[in-house]
Structure 1
Amino acid sequence: MKNIAVIFAGGSGTRMKTTSRPKQFLELHGKPVIIYTLELFDNHPGIDAICVVCIEPWIPFLKKQLRKFEINKVVDIVPGGNTGQDSIYNGLIAAKRYADTQNDSDAYVLIHDGVRPLITEQTISDNIEIVHSKGNCITCIPATETFVVVQPDSSLQIPSRKDSLIARAPQSFQLSDILDKHECARAEGRHDFIDSCTLMSHYGCKLHTVIGPMENIKITTPSDFFIFRAMVEVHENQQIFGY
């Protein structure tokens, strides 16, 4: 049973307001954000292979960065689709091709955003453990603020904070299971599911969770990048000064 990371880096990052390059290729200390992310999966002993979904014009640049930073587990890079759902589907098809070469019909996938570079080795390990035992695993954090759900009649529903979680990534599944649900969505002309757990829930799957680190943010805005920079510097100081 292979564990395949599907890293989604197909977005253009309009909210980052950068003009020179997409957010996943912004550099900190000379290293692109996506390389920080890929290193975590490349160095994890439980990950067998990585498939990356990338903005097509940036694929040659990504390949150069993989060589530069010695990322060795990437087995395929495929272009993104018209929507996030389509891009993830492209990545899952790439994962299926790899699994087929390994004669592995029981492969698992860990779907992760290329712009979530602050996950931990433990988060990846927890996903592998839960997805193997329960069939899926959604990385979440506790809700720390009250949120409001607007009902169809415009009334407001306020869920209990203590019973609420916020879904993040990785989101992990048996490859054959999530591919089947993607095919169902495509057959129905649906291409607008916001993420994998939303798609799986829509088709009746019972989902399981693991709590991940609060700093596992998605770098979407300039302020997110500043948080990422601060967290990297904290980790560097811990290594140098031991605190």
Structure 2
Amino acid sequence: MKKIAVVLAGGRGSRMNSDIPKQYLMLKDRPVLYYALKAFQDSDIDSIVLAAGENDLEMCRTQIVEKYGINKVMAIVAGGAQRYDTVYNALKAAQELAIDTAPEEVLIYIHDGARPCISREIIKNCEEAALQYGACTAAVPVKDTIKVVSPEGFAVDTPDRNTLWQIQTPQVFRSDIISSAYAKMYADTDRGTITDDAMLVERYTDVPVKMAMGAYTNIKITTPEDMGIAAQYL
């Protein structure tokens, strides 16, 4: 089975109150993005595709990939207008890297570059689930009560907490499954809002997405406070 990680670093992070995209901010003397790349570098992943903003490609190559010796990065591609466009661009590069392998024999690990606290255990949990079920996502059971809220700000429903999981990345799919989902998504002119790749597989294939145990420490850097929290976890 060929294993390819797609690491997404195309976001701008408007909630960080910084001119520097969050994935390039320094966290314990290394860029946030470095930690996600290093986790896959140190795993049994065969290769990495890095997707970044068009103006950041050379910087990623020289200041992160080459500087820190992330030699499993085999392609750096430009992101798109939406997150799913960025993933699609990276998927095409991943397919080129696996052109000699049947799609059902390729696992694609899609991970947010702004999640620096990913561990080998999470990667392994996702790999095992994807090998068995074809599609999975790192996730953790929610701890708090969740409310469905009206546009006016009033609680309208309280889902059973035992049925709710907080979704993380990596999300891992057989290449044939995620490729089929993307092809059908782009053919759908009424696709609406799409927030992650598991949602695509749920909507456009009949493959159920398995929850693989993530970690409560596997946070996504979203606000300035998250930088200090992540530093404690690393």
Question: Normalised by the shorter chain, which TM-score bucket?
Answer: over 0.9
Give CA deviations for 1:38-88 in whole Å, capped at 9, x if unaligned: 00000102x111001101111111101211111010111111110111111
Kindly indicate whether the alpha-carbon contact (under 8 Å) linking 2:177 and 2:201 is maintained by their aligned counterparts in 1.
no
- Corresponding letter in the other structure for 2:198: C
- Say which SS state the counterpart of residue 122 (structure 1) adopts: helix
TM-score in terms of structure 2 length: 0.92
Q: Does 1:59 align with 2:60?
A: no
Q: Distance in 1 between matches of 2:216 and 2:199?
A: 21
Tell me, in whole angstroms, the C-alpha distance in 1 between the residues paired with 2:158 and 2:149. 9
1:50 to 48, 58, 61: 48
- 1:96-138 CA-partner distances (Å, limit 9, x unpaired): 11110x3343211011000101111011011111111111111
Question: Quick check: 1:11–1:55 contact (8 Å CA) kept in 2?
Answer: yes
Once the two structures are superposed, residues 134-168 of structure 1 have per-residue CA deviations (whole angstroms, 9 ceiling, x without a partner) of: 1111111110111122479x872211112211111
- Secondary structure at the counterpart of residue 209 of structure 1: strand
Go from structure 1 to structure 2 and tell me whether the alpha carbon gap of 1:192 and 1:94 turns closer, same or farther (over 3 Å shift). Answer: farther
Conserved 8 A contact 1:185-1:191:
no
Which residue in the other structure is 1:216 paired with? 218
* Counterpart for residue 171 of structure 1: 171
* Aligned partners of 1:151 and 1:157 also within 8 Å: no
Is residue 3–residue 128 contact of structure 1 (8 Å, CA) maintained in 2? no
Counterparts of 1:150 and 1:89 in 2: how far apart (Å)?
Answer: 33
Residue matched to 2:27: 28
Instruction: Note the residue ranges of structure 2 that are not aligned, 5 or more in a row.
Output: none
Do the aligned partners of 1:138 and 1:172 also contact (CA within 8 Å) in 2?
yes
Alignment of 1:147-186 (within 5 A): 147-150=146-149, 156-186=156-186
**Partner of 1:188 in structure 2?**
188
Bigger Cα displacement from structure 2, 180-189 vs 142-151: 142-151
Amino acid aligned to 1:218: K
For structure 1, the 5+ residue unaligned runs are 233-243
* Aligned amino acid, residue 49 of structure 1: S
Per-residue Cα deviation, 1:192-222 (whole angstroms, up to 9, x for no partner): 3110111111124311111111110000110
CA distance in 1, matches of 2:32, 2:150: 37
- 2:4 pairs with 1:11: no
Aligned residue identity for 2:48: I
- In the TM superposition, what are the counterparts of 1:108-147 in structure 2 within 5 Å? 108-147=107-146
RMSD: 1.8
Residue 2 of structure 2: aligned partner: 2
Higher mean displacement: 183-192 or 212-221: 183-192
* Map of 1:94 onto structure 2: 93
Aligned pair 1:229/2:218, yes or no? no
Q: Distance in 2 between matches of 1:104 and 1:50?
A: 18
| Contact 1:83/1:192, CA 8 A, preserved across alignment | no
- Provide the secondary structure at the position in 2 that maps to 1:115: coil
Distance in 1 (CA, whole Å) between partners of 2:202 and 2:127 is 20
Q: Report the Cα distance in structure 1 between the residues aligned to 2:95 and 2:156, rounded to whole angstroms.
A: 42
Tell whether the 8 Å contact from 1:54 to 1:80 is kept in structure 2 after alignment: yes
